[in-house]
Every structure is written in structure tokens, then in C-alpha cells.
Amino acid sequence: MALEVRTINDNYEKFKKDIYDYLNIDLNSYKERQMKRRIDSLIFKNGCSSYSEYFSKIKGNKSSLDQFMGYFTINVSEFFRNPAQWEVLENLLISEIVPKNQGISAVKIWSAACSTGEEPYSIAMLLDKNFPGKRFEIIATDIDNEILESAKLGIYDEKSVKNVKDEFKRKYLNRTDGGKYQVIDKIKKMVSFRNHDLIKDFYGRNYDLIVCRNVMIYFTEEAKLAIYKKFCSSLKSGGYLF
């Protein structure tokens, strides 16, 4: 086993370069210990003994590629995760963000690294509750196309909705035949999902609010600084990063 691990370590730098050349994903921007642990786990799960062998499998097998993308991205999310923080955000929306835009333009919100969509849908529910009929622009992005397709469907299990108030469950979620919950069309239509890589892709402009709560701990300090600078440039004057 020790020899197998040493062989994998020796090939990691080449693997990072191969992934960048093939997928245009820069693994150097992620904390190496955490990312390498994730990838090593995938290597052994796929019956591979080296990074080069695993990379060949990613290139030659779509299911392996999809598995890598899903495992590589951060897909742990739930509605109203950390409820106390959502109370702060709701108060901020009511007292500051929306009132600033009365009669000017639609409030523009970006949920960055949105994973399976619970975060942007939570924002949409709060806005519909407090400002019914008002138009909002909610953009939700993630690097993983498979995850984005799941988010667009808006179907979740009991664990994902454990923090949703009963009032919101009745108003914004429908039970499916399989015992899951599906976000109603009214809320789904408030959110626009797009593919976006925080490391390399262009950032939009004039956001009133940017929410990015789940992914920053996985980046290196250098990458985090670059991302925060781009977030600040993307905000309107007086906008908020949450």
C-alpha cells in the first residue's frame, strides 16, 4: 500500500497539468491536501493505481468524467443552511438591499458556487415572501453541469429541506410521488442557472448582493484573494458580499 500511495504522489503534478489542459480546471487554486484526498479516493474507487491511469479513464469514459466533476466540486448544500445567518440576510434584504433599488431596476443577486440550488431557491423564497410581485434577477452558478441540471429540476429529499419552515413548505414546495419535495414553478422561474468557474471565468457587474458561502474554504489563500477582489469589482457601489 505504501508503494501505491508513493506512486500516486509522484504523478500528482502531471495530473494537475493534464486536467488543466483537458478541462481547463486549475487544481493549483485549490488546497492541495483536501483536493488530493478527494482525488485519491476516486482513484482507488475506480480501480486505478496511478494518476496517469485515472486521467486516461477520465478522458475515455464519460461516466468517469461526470463522476470526477461531481466529486471535484462541492455539492453539500441544503435550504436555509445555518438558519441564524439567513435571518441576518433576510433583514438585510428588507432594510437595505431592496429599498435602495425602489423604482430604479431589478435587484440583481448572484449565488456563486450554488451546488444543487438550495441556496438560490432559499433566496427566492425570502424575496417572494417579503416582496410579492416585485421583479428580481437571481443568477446561480456552478462549475458542474450535472449538478446544475439537478438544480433546475428542483427536487430534494427530506434532509435538504429540514430547515424549511412549515409555512414555506406549504407555499413553495410540492410533495412528489416518491416522497421528495419539488420547488414550485413560480420560485424556479425566479432563478437563472449558469455554468461558471470562479477561478477563470468572467464575472458579471452591478450586483446588489453576491452570496458565496460554501466553497471558499477549499481554495488557496492566493486564489481566495483573487476571487474576493473580483467579487468586489462585480458589486454595485454599496452592494453586499454575504
Q: In this structure, what is the dihedral angle of CA atoms 62, 67, 68, 74, given to the nearest 10 degrees?
A: 140
Q: What are phi and psi of 209, to 5 degrees?
A: -150, 130
Closest among 195, 198, 216, 212 to 109, alpha carbons compared: 212
Instruction: Give the span between the Cα atoms of 229 and 232, in whole angstroms.
Output: 5
pLDDT tens digits, residue range 132-150?
989 999 999 998 888 999 9
Compute the C-alpha angle 224/217/2, nearest 5°.
115
pLDDT at 36 over 80: yes
Please state, rounded to an integer, the average pLDDT across all residues of the chain. 89
Q: Which of 61-75, 88-102, 106-120 has the lowest mean pLDDT?
A: 61-75
Question: Going by C-beta distance under 8 Å and a sequence separation of 6 or more, which residues neighbour residue 230?
Answer: 203
pLDDT tens digits, residue range 172-214?
999 998 899 999 999 999 999 999 999 999 999 999 999 998 7
Contact 145, 115 (CB under 8 A): no
- DSSP H helices in the chain: 2-23, 32-45, 51-60, 62-72, 83-92, 98-100, 118-130, 145-153, 166-172, 185-188, 221-234
Closest among 170, 111, 107 to 134, alpha carbons compared: 107
Is the domain spanning 83-241 CATH 3.30.420.40? The answer is no
Res 18: pLDDT: 93
User: Domain ranges in the chain?
Assistant: 2-72, 83-241
